[in-house]
């Protein structure tokens, strides 16, 4: 469960949440930007622009509630198949977000990090990513992790390659390979596994997201598209999470 301060506990109670039954780590698949835009008669890129507002709202509310980590699926390795014009807009939007949110990250005491492959990202985007990581490295509040150019299978492949190199170099024997070693070899090494995975736009799949890490995560799906996601929807996800019994393969008490 999330380790909350007194102010975070008070805020949780004020919005009808049990501060002792909040998830420690929340992961979100932010889906439906394009569909929302189409329904409104807007171009797809407007959905991405409006989605940034939902990101801000969600980050701020998770900070208020004392959530330990929030991981957002921003760009998958499969998204490179989209039209180049949309990709260019996404990269511009991402760069602007990283730059404009820097002050807020520091004000909220957020520690910023990123998972995914750096290859394929522009030097300008990487520069903003690295600067946010650098300036927030000593912050002690919520960890905000963006999954950018990320794929769960790619992550596992990279982990296997890392382990294989150690075996080839004689620094590791095959008998020493266990779940803990694999976990330490993933992009998310040192992070807690997600307790709750939220997906918007009513899609009932995990879309190659944190495949190893969500083995025992609770799944919560909403019909709302990401630009419609707000604090009230987040609270509903947390209430539903609090009512679930997490047995991790064991028996109920």
Distance CA 25, CA 153 (A): 21
Q: Is 88 a catalytic residue?
A: no
Q: Tell me whether residue 55 is exposed, middle or buried, using C-beta atoms within 10 angstroms of its C-beta: 0 to 12, 13 to 18, 19 or more.
A: buried
Distance CA 172, CA 174 (A): 7
Distance CA 61, CA 55 (A): 10
Side-chain-side CA neighbours of 205 within 13 Å: the count stands at 3
Exposure letters 123-150 (e unless 16+ CB within 10 A, then b): eebeebbeebeeebeebebbbbbbbbbb
Q: Is 195 a catalytic residue?
A: no
Pick the catalytic residue: 10, 18, 31, 149? 31
Pick the catalytic residue: 10, 18, 33, 79? 79
43: Cβ contacts below 8 Å, ≥ 6 apart:
37
- Identify the three-state secondary structure at position 197: strand
- Identify the three-state secondary structure at position 141: coil
Q: How many angstroms separate the first and last alpha carbons of the chain? A: 18
Q: Which residues are catalytic?
A: 31, 79
């Amino acid at each position: 469960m999330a380790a909350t301060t007194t102010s975070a506990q008070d805020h949780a109670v004020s919005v009808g949440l049990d501060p002792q039954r909040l998830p420690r780590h929340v992961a979100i698949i932010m889906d439906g930007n394009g569909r929302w835009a189409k329904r409104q008669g807007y171009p797809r890129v407007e959905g991405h622009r409006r989605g940034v507002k939902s990101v801000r709202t969600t980050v701020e509310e998770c900070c208020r509630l004392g959530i330990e980590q929030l991981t957002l699926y921003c760009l998958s390795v499969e998204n490179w198949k989209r039209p180049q014009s949309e990709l260019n807009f996404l990269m511009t939007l991402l760069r602007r977000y990283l730059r404009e949110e820097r002050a807020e990250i520091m004000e909220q005491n957020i520690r910023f990090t990123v998972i995914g492959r750096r290859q394929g990202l522009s030097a300008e985007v990487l520069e903003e990513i690295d600067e946010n990581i650098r300036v927030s490295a000593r912050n002690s509040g919520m960890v905000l992790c963006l999954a950018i150019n990320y794929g769960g299978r790619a992550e596992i492949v990279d982990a296997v390659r890392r382990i294989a190199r150690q075996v080839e170099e004689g620094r590791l024997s095959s008998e020493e390979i266990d779940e803990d070693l694999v976990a330490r070899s993933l992009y998310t090494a040192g992070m807690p596994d997600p307790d709750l995975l939220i997906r918007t736009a009513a899609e009932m799949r995990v879309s190659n997201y944190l495949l190893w890490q969500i083995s025992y995560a609770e799944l919560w799906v909403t019909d709302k598209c990401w630009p419609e996601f707000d604090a009230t929807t987040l609270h509903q996800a947390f209430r539903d999470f609090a009512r679930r019994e997490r047995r991790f393969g064991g028996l109920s008490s």
